[in-house]
Amino acid sequence: MADKKVFIAEEKDEGLRIDAWLNDADPSLSRSYIQKLIKSGDILVNDQPVKSSFRMRAGDVVSAAVPDSQDPEIMPEDIPLDILYEDSELLVVDKPKGMVVHPAAGHESGTLVNALLYHCRGSLSGINGVLRPGIVHRIDRDTTGLLVVCKTDRAHRSLAEQLADHSITRRYYTIVHGVFHGDDSDFHILPAERHLINCRWEDEEAFLQTRDGAHSDVDEQSSGFRADSFLCFRAEGRIGRHMTDRKKMTVTDAAHGKEAVTHVRILQSADGFSLAECRLETGRTHQIRVHMSHLGHPVLGDPVYGPKKCPVPGLEGQTLHAGILGFQHPVTGEYMEFRSSLPPYFNSLLKKFGFSYNYVV
């Protein structure tokens, strides 16, 4: 059996390659998979076969006969988990660097899902299917820190709603390139792209506020820092799939991206780098990494959005840590907040660059 999907090109799609365009229209189809379907004649344009290099025209009708996928069997694995909290509805996990959240091509085992299936003995929400049981949100392989995992569909629906209305507290800690001075020179946006992102300085009250205007339980000294005030700014720039490199996300226009807002608090600068605390108002793919890179301050060690040559030999992946996670319990309604201390490699970098060595989340 095959699932037939139909797409119609618009004027804004003129000139795009069909494989890139269709991948943007349906991200569940990878570009390489689309190319295979084109070769096998399962993708037609105006009822005619085309090549992967075909350029779209307004009004083109694309039909794709996508064979039913066969989900692989995901095996439970006895992998140690750092669990900060667990009850009958959910658990909060502190993910280490290098662990993939859910199985994918090239990472069929050793993932967080493999470990959860073993630990929970199959008691996980099934809303996101067999590949992502219990997974409401994810963090990248080389990002460390906190994730909430749902055991029941009831918990999953509640947490998904909180994510959708931006009421979940999510704070990340990162080391970025460059020093901040508190003026517009801190945002090194290319002139042609300046209209794509809006940055403005804000006070700490704005940084600390949640969406409903209340403060979270995190106070001004939550990170172990001691200062009268910090530089804070709000970055708003829509994020979508990169038009030529489909593995990357980028700041883009309204037609190709979704709203993305990141609040940033600069905690300290040293040796040409800055330590930042980022609060997510939205949660787009690679959001912090994309926004900071676009502003000219990429995350240290980022292999995708940072400089080709990392200034720290041996550093694997981006220096990004999900340090604070807060949400309302799906059953009791109680606000719960969890914190994860910076991992050893992160603290070692802070010491290496000359930052104060007393950071505790």
Tell me the catalytic residues.
140
What is the rounded CA–CA span in Å between residue 249 and residue 24? Answer: 11
Helix and strand numbers, DSSP H then E, in the chain = 7, 16
Q: How many CA atoms lie within 13 A of 95 on its CB side?
A: 31
What is the three-class DSSP state of 218?
A: coil
280 Cβ contact partners less than 8 Å away, ≥ 6 residues apart:
170, 171, 172, 261, 262, 263, 287, 288
Q: Are residues 38 and 73 in contact, defined by beta-carbon separation less than 8 angstroms?
A: no
Q: Which residue has 């569940």 as its token pair?
A: 28
Phi and psi angles of residue 221, each rounded to the nearest 5 degrees, phi first: -110, 25
Structural tokens at position 314: 């041996």
Q: How many CA atoms lie within 13 A of 37 on its CB side?
A: 25
